[in-house]
Amino acid sequence: MHAMPKDIIVSVEHVFKSYRRGSQTVPVLEDITLAIGRGEYLALMGPSGSGKSTLLNLIAGLDRPNSGAIMVEGVDITSLQESDLAHWRAGSVGFIFQFYNLIPVLTAFENVELPLLLTRLSKRERREHVLTALSLVDLADRMDHYPRQLSGGQQQRVAIARAVVTDPALLVADEPTGDLDRKSAAAVLDLMDQLNQELGKTIILVTHDPSAAKRARRLQFLDKGVLSDAPQDTL
Ligand SMILES: Nc1ncnc2c1ncn2[C@@H]1O[C@H](COP(=O)(O)OP(=O)(O)OP(=O)(O)O)[C@@H](O)[C@H]1O
């Protein structure tokens, strides 16, 4: 473990990432360095294919860089073994995806409970945590519903409850409003504002939607694998 200033939660240092396509190497991220403060709300924009999801997945420990270091809460996640990384992810990061990724055969309650099955909590404690998370997203009354019985906006709110049920400091959201109508999108963005402002969650939001990016308090722009402060006229 390295010492890091207390207020920096994510530190990306000289990260390079490429993918292999047949015999070719396709560079995706080139020398990315980025520090994110605890409690920050950062939006990441940029053209399709510029590497936004790739960077988000690296920070969340879903993928590994070719070189460079990624420190999250003082842990160099690039040096963790696969099983340690999975364990770290489960307790440290909440994920919000464009298409919710709920399990169709599980109820809202069971979907939100899933991340807790990896913990030592008792059944009763799990139930309390799940109900707290579902109340936060205002869906406690729908806990016995299956995903297909819920609207897209409601499914995304269940996914947000699942993301926060283990109380991670960091939330990563990849196009969380990409599949929603304006009204449901606004409700999801309001909820993310609340998680940031009231619960102090650090949020990294990847989006194409300027009205979503406006909610963040800092904007970074990725183009052809290179990161920069967003130009003034981006939004
Ligand atoms: N697992 C993979 N294997 C090979 N190439 C990949 C893989 N994942 C991403 N890529 C390539 O890396 C590049 C960046 O992809 P990425 O999804 O990070 O971009 P993005 O900025 O999030 O795009 P979008 O806005 O369209 O979601 C693309 O050219 C993509 O084809």
pLDDT digits over 33-91, tens only?
Answer: 999 999 999 999 999 999 999 999 999 999 999 999 999 999 999 999 999 999 999 89
Average pLDDT over residues 181-187: 94
Mean pLDDT score across all residues of the chain: 94
DSSP 77: G
- pLDDT of 103 above 80: yes
Tell me what pLDDT residue 230 has.
72
Nearest to 139 by CA among 187, 198, 92: 187
Q: What ipTM was assigned to the predicted interfaces of this complex?
A: 0.95
For a ligand 1 pocket test, name from 15, 16, 17, 19 the mutation site with the most ligand atoms within 8 angstroms of its C-beta.
Answer: 19
Tell me what pLDDT residue 2 has.
53
Tell me what pLDDT residue 224 has.
87
Q: Where are the domains of the chain?
A: 8-229
- Which amino acid residue places its CA nearest to atom 26 of ligand 1? 48
- pLDDT of 1 above 60: no
- Which amino acid residue places its CA nearest to atom 7 of ligand 1? 19
Span from the CA of 175 to the centroid of ligand 1 (angstroms): 14
Span from the CA of 50 to the centroid of ligand 1 (angstroms): 7
SS3 31: strand
Which atom of ligand 1 has the smallest separation from the CA of 54?
18
d(CA 17, CA 60): 15
What residue ranges line ligand 1, CB within 6 angstroms?
19, 28, 46, 48-54
Nearest to 98 by CA among 176, 208, 12: 176
Tell me what pLDDT residue 225 has.
86
CATH fold of the domain at 8-229: Rossmann fold (3.40.50)
Q: What is the pTM of this model?
A: 0.93
Report the side by side order of strands in the sheet with 41-45.
93-96, 170-174, 202-206, 41-45, 218-223, 226-229
Tell me what pLDDT residue 223 has.
92
Of the chain, the percentage scoring pLDDT greater than 90 comes to 91
Q: What is the DSSP string of 90-133?
A: HHHEEEE-TT----TTS-HHHHHHGGGGGS---HHHHHHHHHHH
Q: Is 49 exposed, middle or buried (0-12, 13-18, 19+ CB in 10 A)?
A: exposed
Rounded alpha-carbon distances, angstroms, from residue 7 to 58, 95, 122, 168, 202: 20, 22, 33, 16, 11
Span from the CA of 136 to the centroid of ligand 1 (angstroms): 33
Confidence of residue 119 (pLDDT cuts 50, 70, 90): confident
Tell me what pLDDT residue 232 has.
61
For a ligand 1 pocket test, name from 23, 44, 50 the mutation site with the most ligand atoms within 8 angstroms of its C-beta.
Answer: 50
